[in-house]
Structure 1
Amino acid sequence: MKETRKPRRPDVTTVEIVGGAEPLQLGLHDYDEGWASVFLEHRGRILEALAAADVEIEHIGSTAVRGLAAKPIVDIVVTVSDITAEEDYLDGLLAVGYELRVREPGHRLVRTPARDVHVHLYERDDPAVDDYLLLRDHLRSDADDCALYESTKRDLLRRRWDDMNDYADAKTDVILSIKARARAANRQ
């Protein structure tokens, strides 16, 4: 039986977006081989900043899928043992130059001042992390769904978005259908 761990303190109950809504001003860029190097550079930076913490780090999102056009923002997911214990991870990340952008139940987001790297923090075993990895791995192996995802993003980016989060939300239905196919493929 899996041991249930209690967080040190209650998690936040609201969504705090530091700095408020930001218009999306980026377009899609063709896949850039340099995105993998950016990930590795930041992975090292995160590991150094969190040397005392037990973390896992993965490259996620479109920049993690070779050949997929993407906004030039490298997304990284970091798992921590207790999301409520911000003193174990947040101070270290802020000290090496990341800025807090989002604090919400179960999730924190820090990013570079240039906004070109987003670091998503979740508690270990959070299903959201499995979902990120499922989508990434499926897009890496399924050319049809990769093309569908790219065309969806291109269509959405033809519109004006007052907030980057609204653009992300608009992709939800396509992402859910791709993840459903990925789960079905994994069961075979």
Structure 2
Amino acid sequence: MDDQTIDLKNFFKLHERIAMSKRIISKFAASAAIMGACFAGSAHAKSEAAAPFDIVIGGAGSCEQALAQVGETTKKDMGGDEFVYYAKDSTKLYPTAKKLVFRCDMDKVIALSMSIPKGGMGNPEARTTYNALAKMYKRVAGGPIPQVGNGYARFTKGSSVIELDAPHMSFEFELVYFEKELYDRIVELNKQDAAKKNAKKRAL
């Protein structure tokens, strides 16, 4: 997943670095506009749930809509009426996405996850994404993504939970939209797993 980081100052002359910086600034100024439109969901701006790419998280019929937008996928049965879909071409929803996965319960999307490159030194794309999300949703945990180090933020909108996770040692960050019911279920399972591990340690 990770590519080797290139220290630009060791490979480019001054004028080449300046030219590259201008291209990067131009690229991410454009991507900020893309993010605002894509992550919010322009047709559902007043929805009670997050609607990335106009796919309402938890909305009736959103699974069929997501499948139509994403195109070819591989499918994993999670039991009951829940399925996870892995996009063959993750860039159909977002141009730089390296991975795109969504989970459906019957006819609705209950989670949508993307892996996106940080954009090089200073985490420019992760930071731009945070700024776009902060304008649209209520932040309830974490904070702005730093240029160096681990970055994390959690937001909410109505029945949705949105997490941005930018680990220091990764060249990508994760952006995940959850239906709150699923998010709470995952949190509870994690607590149970942690309790079991602690119990085993105390028993040793």
TM over 0.5: no
Q: Which has the larger radius of gyration?
A: 2
Bigger strand fraction: 2
- Structure number with higher relative contact order (C-alpha < 8 Å, ≥ 6 residues apart): 1
TM-score, normalised relative to structure 2: 0.30
TM-score, normalised relative to structure 1: 0.32
